[in-house]
Structure 1
Amino acid sequence: MMVQVYGIKNCSTVKKALDWLTEHGVDYTFHDYKKLGISEDKIKEWQKVFGWEPLINKRGTTWRKLDSIEQEAVTDQKSASKLMQEHTSLIKRPIIDGNGIYLLGFNEEEYDKSL
């Protein structure tokens, strides 16, 4: 099985997920969306799977650094998508995408069940 992992390389949660994948023999490729960006189409695909709200990491420093006007402007899928493209660090991570499997964040039980 080969999956695509989306995230930021220096994120501790992403590191846990990559370690889990390696330990369990799951082949993956990694896409660092902080360095490489992310397409609007990919964000729309994820929004269809997860919804737009779970994709935004509101506990992270990037969200907290936005002014209240920017935060309050995120009211729907379109505005969320635009902001996630401008500030890719806002996207919750990691996202596992492959073979019809989509996982958001790292949850060992979900990984055991799905991968």
Structure 2
Amino acid sequence: MHDIRANPLGAAEIARFLEAFGEALVNTRSTTWRGLDEAARQSDPADLLAAHPTVMKRPVIEAPDGTLYLGWGEAVKARLL
């Protein structure tokens, strides 16, 4: 478990997650997103996530085989449980 509020992700982790999920990693429904101005919303996703870690969609789950999953929806549950 990694608490991004207490210990934000580094640039390499953000890049890895963006490579896996693209812009789906940015939670445009979050309170943080709604509080951003238009300039921040248009910024590069890596820069946005570094500056505002809580705008990241969570959880990101890494399976033992290294596969990354985003969220805890039914499809992810079915694969991991």
Same fold judged by TM-score > 0.5?
yes
Distance 1:108 1:32 in 2: 23
Distance 2:29 2:67 in 1: 25
Give structure 1 regions of 4+ aligned residues with deviation exceeding 6 angstroms: none
Structure number with greater CO (CA < 8 Å, separation at least 6) is 1
Give the count of matched residue pairs.
80
Query: 1:21-64 CA distances to partner (integer Å, 9 max, x unpaired)?
Result: xxxxxxxxx1001111101100111111111x101000111001
- Structure 1 stretches lacking a partner, 5+ long: 1-29
- Structure-to-structure mapping, 1:82-101, within 5 angstroms: 82-98=47-63, 99-101=65-67
Identity across aligned pairs (percent)? 32
Give TM-score scaled by structure 1 length. Answer: 0.64
Distance 1:114 1:49 in 2: 18
Give TM-score scaled by structure 2 length. Answer: 0.88
Distance 2:6 2:55 in 1: 13
More strand by share: 1
Measured after TM superposition, the shift of residue 96 of structure 1 is 0.1
Query: 1:70-92 CA distances to partner (integer Å, 9 max, x unpaired)?
Result: 112x2xxxx21111011100000
Distance 2:80 2:20 in 1: 15
